[in-house]
Structures are given as structure tokens and as C-alpha cells.
Structure 1
Amino acid sequence: MFRYAVLGSGSSANSYIFEYGNFSFILDNGFSSREILRRMEKLSFNPDHLEFIFLSHIHSDHLKGVESLCFELDLPVVIHENLDLDKYTKGEINRKLSVTPGREYTFRYLSFIPFETHHDAPSSLGFYFRLGDISFTVITDTGKYDPSMIAYAEKSHILFLESNYSEEMLMTGKYPPYLKERIRSDKGHLSNFQAADFLKEVTGSERCMIEQIYLCHLSKNNNSVEKVLSEIGKNCSNNIPLRVCDRGESVSGIPLQARRSTLVPGGSSSLSSYSEISAF
């Protein structure tokens, strides 16, 4: 059985969990180990089933709790091949799995393809996953989207997409000009209107397989659930169910009965044993 949840999302801390039977993994952890385990327990996820932590990038709202959770549960962390993770941690993560953007990797029930995002953090990644028969894409912390992101989203049953800020709230807010420009830049975040444009393009395609959309990573000061709904509306999702994840909220995923998906063609690497993982 496939299960998933947004354990938390927003400006302060982000984390997602995905489970298939007794196999699960986490993407990002901006929470303390104690808090992330509390959130997992509340939603009935067993930490003993965790096999990996995937890291999108090194900003603290995604990285802060990764090292402690890796240490506590003896987990490997999946990172961009060009990322020197020890520069941003205490150097206590013993097992790192370096992956190449655009390449397919498999391990047991899981297949995934990392892809580069456009953000002001080195070696930032988004991910296209297939776990069992369910495919899903996570795209956050990117100042713009590109054709590869569109292609991965179209092939997904579930889409997790950043809708970080309201242009109106940002420009009329108290942030200094340099910070406003950083957020609005091609290395910043997606606005509500950019997320709407993305969804219109993806869901308007005949190839679109999406059955559920989650809008996430809302700014604390420059967005709200109500603002997302008013600026994005329902038309852009082409009647696909859409859920806006409020800041700090844990959202249990809606079960899906999805058809088998196919990964985007490309090079493939098998991660068939922990000895191979440890060699990275």
C-alpha cells in the first residue's frame, strides 16, 4: 500500500514522507529529530521503515534536521553529485549517495530521477519518483520552471508544487528591495501566478497523468492559503483535486489508485545494496 504525507511545509521547515509497505523515505527535514518523529508518529509512519533521506538543497528550512536524523536512524542521504555537504553540516553524515541530475536510479520498490532547479543554493534538486505503481514529482525552491519540469510533472500521478508568494503581498510588504528582488528573481521562488501558469500548461496537456496536486512552501510573510486560492483559483488545475498546504501543517496524503507509470528515458543506475550506497 502506498502512503504519503507533507510532514511540514513553509518558510521555517519542510519535509515529505513516502511509504510503500515496509519501505519509506523522507525528502528534506527542516525539523528537529524529535519533532519530525513526533509528526511521523501522529500520522502512523514507522521510522524503522525509513531507507533514505533525500536532500533538495542546503537552505536551513530543508537541511536543518537532516544530519541529526541520519545519525539517529543510521540513514544515507541522497545529494547532488556536486554538493560538498560537509561544508554545511558537522560532518557526521557517514553515508552519502551522490546522484547525477537526469539519470535514473532504482532501489527495491523505488525509482527516481533528480533534476536541477533554479535557486540561489548550490546544486539544488527537484525529484521525479516512482514508488510501486505511483509516480510523483516535487518542485519547490525554484525561481522559474523549465520544459524538463513540465515533462516530469505530466508523467506524475501526484504533483507537489511551490506556490511561495503573492506578488501583491511581497511588493507592498516590509521586505527591503534587495530581498524582494531576490525572491522574485530566476534564482528565487515561484509566485502564485507562476504556479498557476505551470499548472495550466501541465494540466492542459493530453499527456497529463496528475490525479492530485499539492501547493506548498507558502511564505510566512508574503502569502496565505486564502491568497493562493484567490490568485490561482480552480480553473488552472483542470478539475484535478488541489490542496493548499498551510505553513507548518501536516497533511496526510489522499490514497490513489493509479495506473503504472513509465520513467523518462535516460541512463539508469541500480542501487541494489547498501554496500553500493556506502561506496559513494
Structure 2
Amino acid sequence: MTTSSSPGTPRERAGRTNGGRSPVSGFCVKPLRSGSSGNLTLVEHAGTTLLVDAGLPSQRGLASALSEAGVAWDDIDALLVSHLHTDHIHPSAVACCARHQVPILLHEKNLRAFSRRVLSRSPQPGPLRTFGAEPFSVGSIEVRPFAVPHDAEGVTSGFLLSARAGGRDVRVAMATDLGSGGNGLYERFIDSDLILIESNYDPGMLQRSHRHPFDRARVDSDVGHLSNEQAGKFLVRVLQESRKLPRAVVLCHLSADHNSPVVAVGEVRRILSRYGFGEIPVHAARRDGPSPRFFAMEAGER
């Protein structure tokens, strides 16, 4: 196992073909899968291609999901891991990263658990690098990690991703697994050009479900998941403090059993409209297929 405390060191590009594809213009995020069955998000800017989480349970499924976006493993500069639940980092992804020498970046406090739980099933990992609270860069993208409340072992991170475009810093804020938005967390999202936030469940659907009461309580706890209403109110707090509005909001990690895109988007739009933010586009990331590319800034914009 190769470890380093310098997560932003670019990986060697020698011999990489980039699949013959042209870099995407602008700064964009494309959720390829989003939900408890697996999370995989693509971030692209100026030739840098970053994956945030890779929780699909097979190497073939991962390759297929990347292919749907016109991307191959050899195009990926790094895999950034938010936390250690297997729907966010699966041994299949570790094996793919080893084969293609893609660095895996994870929080320094997660390294021991990662080695015990994940590497035990992937005995020959590729480059493994750790980060703490300080910002670092992967190619042209700066990453600012921040801790969020969730019941995974170790630390669960959200990320503020920024890149220089159109003569200014363009910002993408994302947190896709968190139980609450308290303790000043909203400050991390202020003035973002694109926001990705969890909107996991509808409380009524959750309480009417056949899940064990313990499971329902866990989902609804401050270290479980955000409901649609919580996501909407969190966004209102962010927007009220922002000097500019985001191009779009993308709702992530929707439950297959206790939510739906129509319910989640409808509830969040209703809350935003009540507070005068109804013009902001709200989308739901797909669970079982690729979502569109969402641009924080398109080429030529200022």
C-alpha cells in the first residue's frame, strides 16, 4: 500500500490516452449514480477529471457507468471518498483504481478503518493519499473538505470544489450523506454556483413504511439522512446569506422506498418559493442511471 499525506499531487499522466476524448468545456458535475445502491459522481474542469465516491458493487458496473459519460478509468485523475459506507466506496472501485493507478483520496482519520474493512478484500491497492481539514488541489480543481454529521465509521466529509473560470473562482458545494445541517454547516454552501445536497426521504412515507422502527429512527436521526423538508430549509438558510444565487440545486441520495423525484423536487421547490427563491432550478439526481451534466459555469461565461 502506497500512502501519502499530499492528496493533491497529480498522478503521472505518461502513457495515458484519455480515451481520445476532448476535455469538457466549463466546470461541471455529472452524477452517474446517486442512492443507497451506489454513488458515483463525475467532476470535470479544464482537463481535470475527478470522481467523488465510487460505490457500485462491480467493476463491470463501474466501467459501464463511466462509459455512459464518455469517460474511462484512464481519464480519472483521482477518486475522492466522502466516507466509508460501501455505497460510497466499494472494493470493486479499489480494484479498478489499483489496475489503472488512480489515486484514492480519503480523510486521514478513515485510513485505519479503510485498511481493515476495504483493503482486506483488495490486497493490492493503488496510490492511497490522505487529507485533513486543509484545502488541496487535484489538477485545476481545489478541494476544501468539511465534516458533516453521519453515522459512518470515522469522518464523513462534504466538499467545496472550486476552479478558476471566467476570471473568477467558481464554486460547487456538495454533501450527499448527512443527518442534519446544523452547527454552521450552511456557511460552507454560501455563494456557491452549484449545490448538490441530500434529500433522502419524505417523513410520512418513512413512517408508513414496513421498515423496523430502529431503522426508521436511524434514518430520521441527526446522524442519519436529510429529509426533503430539511433539505429545503437548509437551502433557504444558505440562499438568504448568499450574495448570488446558484445556477441550480441538485437533490441527491433519494430513497427508493421513502421518496421519489417528484415528491422531493416538489417539496424543495415549494419551500424555496415560499421564501422567494422559486426561480432556482431544482433537479433530482438519478439512482439507476446517469443524470445530465450540471454546469457551475459554461465555457465563455463570465
TM-score of the aligned structures, taking structure 2 as reference length: 0.80
Of the three residues 189, 204, 210, the one matched with 2:240 is 204
Extract unaligned runs of 5+ from structure 2.
Answer: 1-24
State the partner residue of 1:87: 116
Matches within 5 A, 1:233-244: 233-236=269-272, 238=277, 239-244=279-284
How many angstroms does 1:138 deviate by? 1.2
Residue 46 of structure 2 is matched in structure 1 by 21
Distance 1:148 1:253 in 2: 29
252, 256, 261: which one pairs with 2:292?
A: 252
Distance between the aligned counterparts of 2:296 and 2:222, measured in 1?
34
Partners of 1:226 and 1:258 in 2: CA distance: 27
Whether 1:67 aligns to 2:94 is yes
Task: Give me the whole-angstrom Cα distance separating, in 1, the residues matched to 2:298 and 2:126.
Answer: 36
Q: Secondary structure at the match of 1:28?
A: strand
Q: Which amino acid aligns with 2:236?
A: K
Please state how far the C-alpha of 1:209 moved relative to its aligned partner. 4.3
How far 1:67 moved relative to its partner?
A: 0.8
Which residue identity does 1:6 align to in structure 2? P
**Structural mapping, 1:151-190, within 5 Å:** 151-190=187-226
Per the alignment, residue 266 of structure 2 pairs with: 230
The answer for the alignment partner of 2:36 in structure 1 is 11
Number of equivalences: 258
Encode CA deviations 1:79-105: one digit per residue, 9 max, x unaligned. Answer: 11111211121343242211112x111
- Equivalent residues of 1:117, 1:124 under 8 A apart: yes
**1:119-142 residue CA offsets vs partner (Å, 9 max, x unmatched):** 111211111111343321111111
Cα distance in 2, alignment partners of residues 129 and 206 from structure 1 = 17
* Alignment root-mean-square deviation, CA: 2.0
Residues 210-221 of structure 1 correspond to what in structure 2 (within 5 A)?
A: 210-221=246-257
Provide the C-alpha distance between the structure 1 equivalents of 2:222 and 2:215, rounded to a whole number of angstroms. Answer: 13
Q: Secondary structure at the match of 1:114?
A: strand
Percent identity, please: 26
Q: Note the alpha carbon deviations across 1:145-166, whole angstroms, 9 max, x for none.
A: 1354312211321111000011
| C-alpha distance 131-231 of structure 1, shift in aligned 2 (>3 A) | same
Q: CA deviation at 1:233?
A: 2.5
Q: Note the 1:39-118 alignment, pairs <5 A.
A: 39-64=65-90, 65-83=92-110, 84=112, 85-89=114-118, 90=120, 91-101=123-133, 103-118=134-149
What 5-or-longer segments of structure 1 have no aligned partner? 260-280
Q: CA 1:190/1:235 → structure 2, altered by over 3 Å: closer, same or farther?
A: closer
Determine the C-alpha separation between the residues in 2 that align with 1:200 and 1:117: 18
The alpha-carbon deviation at position 197 of structure 1 amounts to 0.5
Q: Is the 8 A contact 1:22 1:49 kept in 2?
A: no
CA deviation after TM superposition for structure 1 residue 256, in Å:
4.4
Structure 1 residues 180, 99: CA separation in 2 closer, same or farther (over 3 Å shift)? same
Q: Of the candidates 125, 137, 141, which is equivalent to residue 157 of structure 2?
A: 125
Give, as a single letter, the amino acid of the residue that structure 1 aligns with 2:125: I
Cα distance between partner residues in 2 of 1:189 and 1:23: 31
